[in-house]
Amino acid sequence: MELEDVGNEVWRELYSRSFFQEIEVKDGQTYFKMHDLIHDLATSLFSANTSSRNIREINMMMSIGFAKSVSSYSPSLLQKFVSLRVLNLSRIGNEQLPSSIGDLVHLRYLNLSRNNMCSLPKQLCKLQNMQTLDLQYCTRLCCLPRETSKLGSLRNLLLHGCYRLTCTPPRIGSLTCLKTLDCFVVGERKGYQLGELRNLNLYGSIKIWHLERVKNDKDAKEANLSAKGNLHSLIMSWDSGPHRYESEEVKVLEALKPHPNLKYLEINSFRGFRLPDWMNHSVLKNIVSIVIYDCRNCSCLPPFGDLPCLESLELQLGPAEYVEEVDIDIHSGFPTRIRFPSLRKLCIKYFRNLKGLLKRGGEEQFPVLKEMEICYCPIPTLSSDLRTLTSLNIRDNEEATSLPEEMFKNLLRTLTTRNIRESEEATSLPEEMFKNLANLKDLKISNFKNLRELPTSLASLNALKSLKIHMCDALESLPEEGVKGLTSLTELYVCYCKMLKRLPEGLQHLTTLTNLGIWGCPEVEKRCEKGIGEDWHKIAHIPYLKIYS
């Protein structure tokens, strides 16, 4: 059995015996608490055994005093703890790790995350028993020691957030115990290339950077991603610079076909003219989330609608000139007439010529879609009424004020969140915009530079709890009748509406309103001065006020 499997069995046994309590799983991490009696026992054992030579674990997170001691390089400090197994120096602000770290020969776990080191001492590679090296968010770290491959017991090398890494240490493939490698930076020389991943049985997630350094599909195949059934998350990223090999990138990406167990896939800055053929229901049959970012040369998209488990799809192609539909191939052989059967969240950005979500209608579409965001592209024609939709965010689009209300009629009744944003031309919003929104709870209107008034149909939003109005420079007033009808409103924020003259009288009758925020509205700020302002009587009953310039 793998060590991780043994550990899980031990944990389950202890949990079944109530050694741990209050289990919680969040963001893929398992959290639990120790019973008070067990904690007291552990504390008493530690108190009876305080010799530094017997200490097995030190946690010094954000301990400035210890940081100074370590960075001053006192060899005797670390030599006192000869039996140390766990050393946590996370967030202590260190810029340098002393070479005496190599004396802790029994160390299994070393956490240096969120520190300021640019490099690590070569003596670190003497720790032959070390199993976990955590360097996450060491944002200044440029390289690891060349002899990192000598850490023969290493099982977890955590590099997420090390954005300045120029390459992964050479011959990383010789670490045959390695199970977690969350970042691999492709190099150009032998020992630094994708072939180092071939024989590693990796678990969890991996991000592969600088794929533009892979010159052909033969090099890409050496990564052997299709055999890595324990990887659940894969991010593939190219450099976004102009020096690119577009003609080879399609072949390279084709050769990086993942295992069908994959759950999350992200592709960044790919410059090929099409996405790979393996993006279909046979290979991605278990995929839950897909992100395609800055792939501006793509002329068409795969049949995403076929993917049976896909719950979240985010497409930011970049300024995409060619793509007109999100799902263009609805006859790809998948034995169902339902398009996007599991999709709950859809985000579309930078599709300049977007016309619709599907090329042809007829099939059942988006049966469980909850959230939709459309940004920096034309509003598409919808061939489905999207009855399950609860959140619609349309922004940075000049057509946002002229939504085809008849087409949206059914979905409007189910919306709970709506974000209307950015139009340089509109001076008003249509009265129809806020009708049929019986369940709307959150509304944000922002970046309408010439908007002078809001429709009185605001009064029909009886379920609205939160109203936010941001950066509407020309807005002079809020509709008296519209505000009166907001009987469920609990929070109102009006920000950077510099022409706003006063607050409506009806505000004083909104007994549910508990939070009011006003800033960047100079006239209103004066009128709301406590006790003496002309509008103070309208807001005096509100418990939480934030009013400032």
State yes or no: pLDDT of 63 exceeds 80.
no
In this prediction, residues 41-67 reach a mean pLDDT of: 66
Share of the chain above pLDDT 90, in %: 48
State yes or no: pLDDT of 430 exceeds 80.
no
Confidence of residue 72 (pLDDT cuts 50, 70, 90): very low
Sequence-distant (6+) residues with CB within 8 A of 22 are 32, 33
Specify the 3-state DSSP secondary structure of 502.
coil
- Please give the structure tokens belonging to residue 6: 């043994």
Note the pLDDT of residue 255. Answer: 96
Specify the 3-state DSSP secondary structure of 58.
strand
Share of the chain above pLDDT 70, in %: 83
Instruction: Write the DSSP assignment of 443-464 as a string of letters.
Output: EEEEEETT-----GGGGG-TT-
Number of Cβ within a 10 Å radius of residue 169? 23
Contact 296, 271 (CB under 8 A): yes
Of residues 125 and 95, more confidently modeled: 125
Confidence of residue 158 (pLDDT cuts 50, 70, 90): very high
Contact 301, 335 (CB under 8 A): no
In this prediction, residues 126-133 reach a mean pLDDT of: 96
**CA angle 453-457-463, nearest 5°?**
120
- Please give the structure tokens belonging to residue 226: 């299709």
Q: What is the DSSP letter of 189?
A: S
Q: What is the mean pLDDT of the chain?
A: 84
Domains and CATH numbers, the chain: 1-50 (no CATH), 53-162 (3.80.10.10)
* Interval 237-276: pLDDT, tens: 998 765 555 668 899 999 999 999 999 999 999 988 889 9
Q: Which helix (H) or strand (E) holds 218?
A: helix 217-221
Confidence of residue 373 (pLDDT cuts 50, 70, 90): confident
Specify the 3-state DSSP secondary structure of 124.
helix
Q: What is d(CA 66, CA 58) in angstroms, rounded to the nearest whole number?
A: 11
Note the pLDDT of residue 85. Answer: 92
Pairing of strands 132-134, 156-158: parallel
Note the pLDDT of residue 251. Answer: 93
What pTM, to 2 d.p., does this model score? 0.79
State yes or no: pLDDT of 380 exceeds 80.
no
Highest averaged pLDDT of the listed ranges 112-121, 400-409, 411-420: 112-121
236, exposed or middle or buried, with CB in 10 Å at 0-12, 13-18, 19+? buried
Going from the C-alpha of 325 to that of each of 42, 293, 315, the distances in angstroms are 61, 16, 11
- Nearest Cα to Cα of residue 400 among 447, 442, 438, 435: 447
Q: What is d(CA 138, CA 142) in angstroms, rounded to the nearest whole number?
A: 9
Confidence of residue 129 (pLDDT cuts 50, 70, 90): very high
Q: Which residue has the tokens 């995350």?
A: 113
- Nearest Cα to Cα of residue 206 among 178, 177, 236, 226: 236
User: Picking from 75-84, 195-204, 484-493, which range would have the lowest pLDDT averaged per residue?
Assistant: 75-84
Specify the 3-state DSSP secondary structure of 38.
helix
Q: What is d(CA 59, CA 45) in angstroms, rounded to the nearest whole number?
A: 18
Note the pLDDT of residue 359. Answer: 63
Contact 120, 102 (CB under 8 A): no
- Nearest Cα to Cα of residue 304 among 257, 343, 274: 343
| Strand ranges inside 362-508, DSSP E | 364-365, 371-375, 391-395, 417-423, 442-448, 466-470, 491-495
In this prediction, residues 185-189 reach a mean pLDDT of: 92
- Nearest Cα to Cα of residue 119 among 104, 88, 103, 98: 98
Q: Is 28 left (phi over 0), alpha (psi -120 to 50) or beta?
A: left
- Nearest Cα to Cα of residue 524 among 543, 538, 513: 538
List residues bridging with 293 in a β-sheet.
268, 316
Q: What is d(CA 267, CA 181) in angstroms, rounded to the nearest whole number?
A: 18
User: Picking from 7-11, 244-248, 391-395, which range would have the lowest pLDDT averaged per residue?
Assistant: 244-248
In this prediction, residues 329-348 reach a mean pLDDT of: 74
Q: What is d(CA 261, CA 248) in angstroms, rounded to the nearest whole number?
A: 27
Sequence-distant (6+) residues with CB within 8 A of 518 are 493, 494, 495, 524, 525, 528, 546, 547
In this prediction, residues 68-79 reach a mean pLDDT of: 54
Contact 128, 105 (CB under 8 A): yes
Q: Is 257 left (phi over 0), alpha (psi -120 to 50) or beta?
A: beta
- Nearest Cα to Cα of residue 475 among 496, 456, 444, 504: 496
Confidence of residue 495 (pLDDT cuts 50, 70, 90): very high
Q: Which residue has the tokens 């991605």?
A: 284
